Structure 1
Amino acid sequence: MKKLCALLFVLTSLLNAQDNEKACKTFSRVSEMLQQNHFKPKKVDDSLSVFVFNQVVDGLDDNHVLFTATEFDKLAVHKNQIDDYINKKDCAFFTDFISVYRTALERNKKFIEEISAEKLTYTTTDTMRYSKGAYPYLKEPERIKKYLRKKITLDILEDIAELSKNKDSLTKQLPALFETSKQKITSTYLCRADNLLSPADGFENAVYGKFYNAFCTYFDPHSAYFNYNEKASFVSTISSQNYSLGLYVNQEDDEQMVVEEVVPGGPAFKSEKIEKGDKIIKLTANKQEYIISCASMDAVTNIVNSDSYRDVALTLRKQDGSLYTVTLTKEKMRDDDNAVYSYVLGEGTEKTGYIKIPSFYSGYEDGKRAGMAEDVAAEVKKLKEQKITGLIIDLQYNGGGSMDEAVRMAGMFINFGPISILTDKQMKYNTLRDYNRGMLYDGPMVVLVNGLTASASEFFAGVMQDYNRAVIVGSPTLGKASMQTIMPLDEKEQSDFIKITVDRFYRVNGKSSQYTGIIPDVKLPMLFSDIMPRESKMANALLNDTIDVKLRYSKLPVLPIKNAVSQSEGRIKANASFTAINSLNQRVNVLYNADKKPLPITFSNVFDDVHSTDSLYKDVKDVMDTESTLGVSGTYNALGTDEYVKTVNEYKIKNIKRDPYILEGMKILLDLSAGKDR
């Protein structure tokens, strides 16, 4: 028996060594490709080692409640050595991270199982303490278990508190509610523990991936490592066609996914089983099962979007409570969430065209479907036929996408001339130009942006601003003026990829929006603006600079824009919605920046804490739900049943009426038209 155990140990060690050797080749290849291709490569030195170590350890245990102090110390010996390991192509250190992480997760799972079998109480004397920084690692595993028990009890009480705003009623039902919620919370904890121990791509690969990705983000926040599924999921966000199950789903407050619509002709429709209102309980793909209530959204998104998960088994619950399972094979279908759409705003002779661009997607690989720019051109043509007097291009929440599409679209709205200057790591300048004389639309324009407008959408807004072609309205954009390309680490295998920042783009005046973002001509307050992600807040972001260029280009007169901006600023000061947004932002910032006080874990205290922000978020919801009387006409060409198309149109029109930025954009266009007439 001892010989058998020894043999198994030797075999396991050999397999680990082989895995580490393969991972080391991948790590070295990631390093080589970044050095060769990155716009601003960095030395592989101790600074990189420290950054990668901190990123990986924080990613594995961000709250310092998984590893013991001894386990952390075992990992910390590698903190300044990772650069040396890469240069020497010696990745034996992976074994320590894999072993320590697995041991800690298995211990935590055991603790959760023990706690779930214990008699927990809601009359504790425990207190949960909060800190914006991580606490020191705990020395004894039993202290970790004590923390877990405290956290699970807190989660149970929070789960109960969220059932109602009637504290007295919940207090009376507390004994029964506590036991029901305990089963739900501990089951979720166990499910999450199992998911971490058995990720879809393998435990070791999950750890390796964290190192590869941390290495990439040391160079800049937009360089990244992708496995095949992650790459497919990323590409789906900038495509108007993806492999699909033919379902539209919505995640409800109880973390269940509900079928919102079954797309006619799609895989779900062909099954003749799935109906609107059915709840998705679990997904099974590639022999891996995912319980929706506890699976990470990244895992679910990969299953839904990656073409490597062609066959997916869904377990659903009908509204009568009956369960059933159906296996679907994905088919390539149009993605309505990314598609461009338009409406006509206003009534009478003053009609404003409105085009929403969710992302800068490219055309289909088979060439049968146009890209975003061509879709925009088709919408502009439709709007011109309706005699619009102005055009709003809405890039709010547009995270970018294809730069080729952005260049094509910019050329549609200027006469001709330079659009941007592209630079590579050698600082060689490549001027991007629009060679086609004439404009698809030559009337007044407004471009709407906000803090989540990024990359290609910032690029387009910058061109329109430089040419005085449009009034830019909203809040400062994200500040990403760099370009990335996705490359396979191995041309033959095509299983591992790296997204590398290879170029930066500058505006035609030599300035850059990198780090700072596009500053709107008309600045409007945005809800939660101070806590939104910004390039300037991201670790290792490329800094702003300028280049010395003198490009010749013909700007439109600036006076009409100045006059329209001046009139808009007067309206904004008296606008109730914008005043309310400014007030709400102040309240949110106070809440966000304040140190949270220790919370006694009793139902009364937890209930008060859970509902302490009710009034704030009621006010936020009231502002966001306020509808104007703006006239909106047109129909979005959605896929689905007549009922679904009607629902989609009602939803989109309601969102337009609730958006004060769109209404102000329309008023600015009316001012521009009036100035033009004079």
Structure 2
Amino acid sequence: MKKLSLALLLTTFSLLGQNEVKTCETLSKINALIQREHYQPKPIDDSLSVFVFDSFLDVLDANRNLFTKIEYEKLCKHRLQLDNSILQNNCAFMSDFVTVYKSALNRKKKVLEKLQKEVFDYTTNDSVKFSKKKFPFDLVLTDIERVWRKRIKYDILEDISKLSPNLDSLTPHFTKLEKTSKAKIFDTNLCKVNSILEDTNRLENDLQNNFLNIFCTYFDPHSNYFSMDAKSSFMSGLSTSNLSLGLNIGFNEKEEIIIEEIVPGGPAAKTDKFEKDDVILKVSNTKGDEYSVSCTSMEKIGELILSDSNVEIELTIQKKNGTIQSVRLRKQVMKATENAVFSYIAEAKSKIGYINIPSFYSNFDGYSIQGCADDVAKEIVKLQKDNVEGLVIDLQNNGGGSMEEAMKLAGMFLDIGPISVLVDNKSKQTILKDGNRGSAYNGPIVLLINGNSASASEFFAASMQDYNRAIIIGSTSLGKASMQTILPLDQNNQQDFVKLTIEKFYRITGDSHQIKGIVPDIALPVLFDSIIQREISFKTALKYDVITTKARFNPFSKTLFPKIIELSNSRIKNTSRFNEISLANEQINALYNNPKKPTRLTFKDVFNDIHEIDPIWKKVKKIVESESNNTISNNSFDLEQLKFDVFQQEINRYKIKEVKNNPYLEEAIAILNDYKNLNK
């Protein structure tokens, strides 16, 4: 028995040693790549050590209910030493993190198994505290049971509270509901812990991958490490245009699989049972295979969903209100539409062309034979044949993409000249120019942006603003003015990659929109605008600065801009829908930004806490679903094409509804009408 234990012990240390060597080898390659290619490489010093250590501990124990204070202090010996260890190619520190993390998980498992047998009392004065700031690592061993008892009790009460917005309908059935929710909460928690502990390789690989990624983000938030692991394969598989369930899937902050988008016309949309942010709990097929998402590897779940042999799939989902539904879906062939440019004609006093650009995709992405810019050119030709008198380009929620496509698009509205200035890590300036004379469209343009308009969207918007080529309306953009490329760590073994920031781009004026964002000419209230995570919220974001550039350009006249802006601002003040958005934002800000009071662990108190936001959500839903006074229709070319495609007809109805509900388009049309009247 002693020999067996010793053998197991030696095997464990051997595996840890191998992982440490692998971690160091990968770290060394990442650091060499960053120091050589990154736009603004930083030294490996105490600042890096503190950032990586603190961020890593936040990932491992975000809620401060796993590690004790003693364990944290034990790990703290590495807080100022990680830089030295990395430079010395000594990654022995990883075994400390693995050992402490594994021990804490085993302890958590025992505590949960003990608490599972308890009968909970929901009439005590126990309460839970909430904070947007991180709690300190001050957990003591004797308090662990109490902390987890409170956490589980809150989760159970929260789960029951989400079943209905009516407290009186739940209270008489509380005992029965509590039994069901308690079993579910414990099963979920224990299942997650067991799935990690039972797969030692998964635990160690997850810790290593998290550590390597955090190391990269120290240099800037958009530099990341990733390997060809199960999660990335799973995500890429579900995000392809051939996803025949008609669902786009993502992960929330709890690492739960959620519904990110329901594709119009697809199997999921036809059931009318799915909503954005629904959590997928189980996946099963008709052969009897059933997997609980929280306990199964992404490889197995992805294989079951994506396999052609599984024509029918059943998804068990949890709605926002806590209700659980099982929905059976039969796969169908889907067409790629997610990233395709589309256009409509909007009429209100005049005929205006509307073009929506969801992302700056390129022909390498497989979404189109051409890239985004060529697709926009096609839409412009269609709209011009219908004699539109102005153009609205919608970049709201466009997170970017190909800079080359953004540059080509800018060139379509400008007649030769510089568009942007690229600066590399040697401070070399490259002026990007539109070398083609002439333009695809010469009429007036209004550009729509918001806080989620980023990167290539900002690149394009900046050029339009610098040339006075378009009036920009909406809210300040995200503020990302850097370019990334994906590089393998090893050309011979392309399993590990780094997405690396290699250049920063500036406006042709020498100004930068890094951190600052693109500030619209006309500011409009946008729902949730103040709580959107912009570039400025990242600790390691590149700084804002200004350069002196040799770019020379001839902007268009902006003689009419001041009057147009004045008329628009006056109209906005008297538009009821914009006033409703501003009022809703005040309530949202108060709810999100004000410190939250401790909540007593009674059913009534937790119910009131969960449903405090309900009235605001009702207002938001009403605002979002309000229709504008515009008439939205297809251009003549698309109208003919739609006659022969039932699938596209369904998607078209969905898109028209979304466009008709867009208050910013209504104001954009009014601005273009002002331009027309002032230009007479």
Deviations 1:355-383 (A, max 9, x none): 11111111136897211111111111111
Match of 1:622 in 2: 622
Deviations 1:547-604 (A, max 9, x none): 1124222211111222221211110111111112222222222222222112111111
Q: Which amino acid aligns with 1:467?
A: Y
**How far apart are the structure 2 equivalents of 1:73 and 1:311?**
51
Deviations 1:65-94 (A, max 9, x none): 111112112211111111111111011111
Match of 1:249 in 2: 247
Deviations 1:652-673 (A, max 9, x none): 2222222211110111111122
Deviation at 1:262, TM superposition (A): 10
CA gap of 1:276–1:420, structure 2 versus 1, over 3 A, is same
Match of 1:337 in 2: 338
Deviation at 1:256, TM superposition (A): 8.0
Deviations 1:244-299 (A, max 9, x none): 332213789998869967989xxx99xxxx995799764599xx98524x479xx8
Is the 8 Å Cα contact of residues 242 and 334 (structure 1) preserved in structure 2? no
CA gap of 1:546–1:195, structure 2 versus 1, over 3 A, is farther
**How far apart are the structure 1 equivalents of 2:161 and 2:361?**
43
Is the 8 Å Cα contact of residues 247 and 263 (structure 1) preserved in structure 2? no
Does residue 61 of the first structure (1) align with residue 90 of the second (2)? no
CA gap of 1:651–1:61, structure 2 versus 1, over 3 A, is same
Is the 8 Å Cα contact of residues 564 and 672 (structure 1) preserved in structure 2? yes
Is the 8 Å Cα contact of residues 52 and 211 (structure 2) preserved in structure 1? yes
Does residue 384 of the first structure (1) align with residue 387 of the second (2)? no
**How far apart are the structure 1 equivalents of 2:91 and 2:176?**
53
Q: Which amino acid aligns with 2:477?
A: T
TM-score normalised according to structure 2 size: 0.88
SS at match of 1:611: helix
TM-score normalised according to structure 1 size: 0.88
Which deviates more from structure 2 when the two are superposed, residues 404-413 or residues 552-561?
552-561
Deviation at 1:39, TM superposition (A): 0.7
How many positions carry a matched residue from both structures? 656
Match of 2:82 in 1: 82
Q: Which amino acid aligns with 1:342?
A: S
SS at match of 1:441: coil
**How far apart are the structure 1 equivalents of 2:389 and 2:485?**
39
SS at match of 1:511: coil
Is the 8 Å Cα contact of residues 392 and 445 (structure 2) preserved in structure 1? yes
The structure 1 residue matched to 2:671, chosen from 658, 668, 672, is 668
Which deviates more from structure 2 when the two are superposed, residues 9-18 or residues 254-263?
254-263
Match of 1:593 in 2: 593
CA gap of 1:561–1:399, structure 2 versus 1, over 3 A, is same
CA gap of 1:56–1:260, structure 2 versus 1, over 3 A, is closer
Q: Which amino acid aligns with 2:660?
A: K
Which deviates more from structure 2 when the two are superposed, residues 105-114 or residues 394-403?
105-114
Match of 1:203 in 2: 203
Is the 8 Å Cα contact of residues 281 and 316 (structure 1) preserved in structure 2? no
Does residue 653 of the first structure (1) align with residue 651 of the second (2)? no
Deviation at 1:503, TM superposition (A): 0.4
Q: What is the RMSD of the two structures over their aligned residues, measured on CA atoms?
A: 3.7
Alignment of 1:511-522 (within 5 A): 511-522=511-522
Deviation at 1:128, TM superposition (A): 1.1
Match of 1:33 in 2: 33
Which deviates more from structure 2 when the two are superposed, residues 607-616 or residues 597-606?
607-616
Is the 8 Å Cα contact of residues 247 and 259 (structure 1) preserved in structure 2? no
Is the 8 Å Cα contact of residues 259 and 278 (structure 1) preserved in structure 2? no
**How far apart are the structure 2 equivalents of 1:544 and 1:177?**
54
Which deviates more from structure 2 when the two are superposed, residues 58-67 or residues 309-318?
309-318
Which deviates more from structure 2 when the two are superposed, residues 641-650 or residues 577-586?
641-650
Deviation at 1:132, TM superposition (A): 3.2
Deviation at 1:460, TM superposition (A): 0.3
Which deviates more from structure 2 when the two are superposed, residues 185-194 or residues 338-347?
185-194
Is the 8 Å Cα contact of residues 237 and 306 (structure 2) preserved in structure 1? no
Alignment of 1:430-579 (within 5 A): 430-579=430-579
**How far apart are the structure 2 equivalents of 1:200 and 1:135?**
29
**How far apart are the structure 2 equivalents of 1:262 and 1:575?**
31
Deviation at 1:483, TM superposition (A): 0.5
Deviation at 1:129, TM superposition (A): 2.0
CA gap of 1:463–1:260, structure 2 versus 1, over 3 A, is closer
Which deviates more from structure 2 when the two are superposed, residues 307-316 or residues 16-25?
307-316
CA gap of 1:69–1:120, structure 2 versus 1, over 3 A, is same
Deviation at 1:64, TM superposition (A): 1.1
Deviation at 1:526, TM superposition (A): 1.4
Deviations 1:103-132 (A, max 9, x none): 212322332233233222333332112233
**How far apart are the structure 1 equivalents of 2:661 and 2:23?**
51
Alignment of 1:73-472 (within 5 A): 73-197=73-197, 202-229=202-229, 242=240, 244-249=242-247, 276=271, 282-283=282-283, 291-292=292-293, 294=294, 315-316=313-314, 335-346=336-347, 350-364=350-364, 369-472=369-472
